Structure 1
Amino acid sequence: MAGDFYEVLGVPRTASQQEIQRAYRKLARSYHPDVNKDPGAEDRFKEISEAYQVLSDPETRKRYDAFGPDFRQVPPDVDPETWARARAGAGARAGAGARGAPEWEFAGGDFAGGDFEDILGGIFGGRRGGRRWGPVPGADQEAEITVTVEDAYRGARRSLTLPTGRRVDVSIPAGVTEGQRIRLAGQGGHGSEGAPAGDLYLIVRIAPHPRYEVRGRNIHVALPLSPWEAALGATVAVDTPGGEAKVRVPAGTSTGRHLRLRGRGLPNPRGTPGDLLAEAKVMVPPHLTDEERRLFEELSAVSGFDPRSRR
């Protein structure tokens, strides 16, 4: 399991959302597998991405702050104060029992005389009021799994540590999208008295990428062009998660124009795949040779084009 998410990003627990985002972007640029070939960079990047996914969402961050590393296993209807008091009371009772002291009671008499399972009642199954319930199936659970754009495109095998501490291999199918759920049957909460375990649902999060932006099944990528390629038209190479592709640039293309490569986005096992949209960005040489300057000056003298004209 990853360490404390605040420590992973190198920010204090009081950090603002902007500070968390800045820290993530800086670390992601340093450790993304596409730019850092160190053997441990990919694991570090996944750890950074998981920390950011949790802390960048105010509600998820609130639960993490309240419940700590167990926040994914705590049902959503559990009150943080009740949880904290229950854990404190359970610890106090254990200590008191070791010393032979009287049974601990919470201030105000709440939950007096009960054990930890009594306090949380039927949330996790078990006993209440000294009675054993019948077999209770295990609860379904959720956890997030962060994948790269390349993993979402091609599919992948990942090793995952479950809330129980056991590691399992997970198949990431090609074409998964942000928010999609992957079901691991029988890997959720344990059932009582031989009842079946619940299922674990992995919620897919696609990590930010230095080149690609995923929107649904479509993938957006910047396409740098020289002024002459944009003006005259050209066929140029563009990187895609599936490898290099060729895109035809029509003559007269300006920055911001989207060139669509149909079917080159995320695959769709049940239908039409997404598209890749290359956004033209016209670039000028930062330093001109004498000949380039002469030619640009000649073009300036003969051209009637005015980019600021409203016509």
Structure 2
Amino acid sequence: MKSIFVALSVLAYLLFAVVVEAAPDYYSILGINKRANEKEIKTAYRQLSKQYHPDKNSSPEAHDKFVEVGEAYEVLSNKEKRANYDKYGDPEGPQHHGGPGDFFNNMFGGHHGGQHGGQQRGDNSQLNLNLALSDFFQGKDMDFEVEMVNICTDCTGSGSSDGKKIKCKNCNGGGVVMIRRQLAPGFVQTFQSQCDQCQGKGSIVANPCKVCSGSGAKRGKRKYDVHIPAGFPRDGVQTMEGEGDAYPDIIPGDLHIVFKEDLSRSWGYRRVGNNLYRDEVLTAKEALGGGWERHIPYFDEIETEIKLSRNAQQMVRDGEIEVVQGKGMPFHNADGLDDDKHGDLFIQYKIVIPGGSKEAAGHVMRDEL
């Protein structure tokens, strides 16, 4: 039996040596030096992410490079992960990879060396942000604050006002208690259970932190900045990994940011996929006689208006649709060969007669025809 255990231990060491690799050079990936500030990191990331985005770059290496750039930015834009990476070479800190003993535990499910497996992962969080249609059209950089659960800064998550803890008397510091249960006369079951006094930690806080009431976590504001590319889909999601609510001894979940369209700020347009739709009202005189011109607002920063017109005696029917090609939404999933690819704009004309109704307008137009 001992020889089998030794053989398995050797195998675990060999496998551990194979799977544990050095962290990539994130600074080189972004093309910056180790003294780069937050703005320089963000600028480098945006330039490279646009360069290697699979929607813009169809080369076989673009996808891998895009993922690599995103991973580098995730680490270097996070102060804690960056500090760990600079100091230990690993964004998760010195204990991230553990050792062969931990690897052995993960493989065989044991508690070798007193380790108790991985941490629990927290739930994901969702945040809805409302944007005008012009923001989806042009793209936008957004800075915002959101209230989340954060590790208490006063006690650094310990829950103790003085940093002191005392051994739990209920479990004698073991974190578990033995429970005996009689199943039937002469039959007694004995099993371990997590101590409900210290929640399995083996110690309790002597003087709870007054800021977080001993919980080690407290709700507070966080600041984020995100980039919405032009043509980003309505109800599209950006995921901030590890930015969910944070509690001591729990790995935070992700923060999902959902971008909603504020329909009250759409300038009369309706978005369906990559196309735009709009109703345009004409008087009976304009519809029958033509000879009119008007300019409707448009989302482009350079071409801020679109001209609609009819020559004299050029009739417009009620419900007639005019297609303005290439004036719809930008393609978010462009093939990378045409950066200015857009959908179309569909204008539907509605004829209005003073004192009449839409149905009456339709009868008038039919009579004239």
Q: Is TM (by shorter chain) over 0.5?
A: no
Q: Which has the higher contact order (CA 8 A, sep 6+)?
A: 2
Q: Which structure features the higher share of helix residues?
A: 1
**Band the TM-score falls in, shorter-chain normalisation:** 0.3 to 0.5
TM-score w.r.t. structure 2 length?
0.37
Q: Which structure features the higher share of strand residues?
A: 2
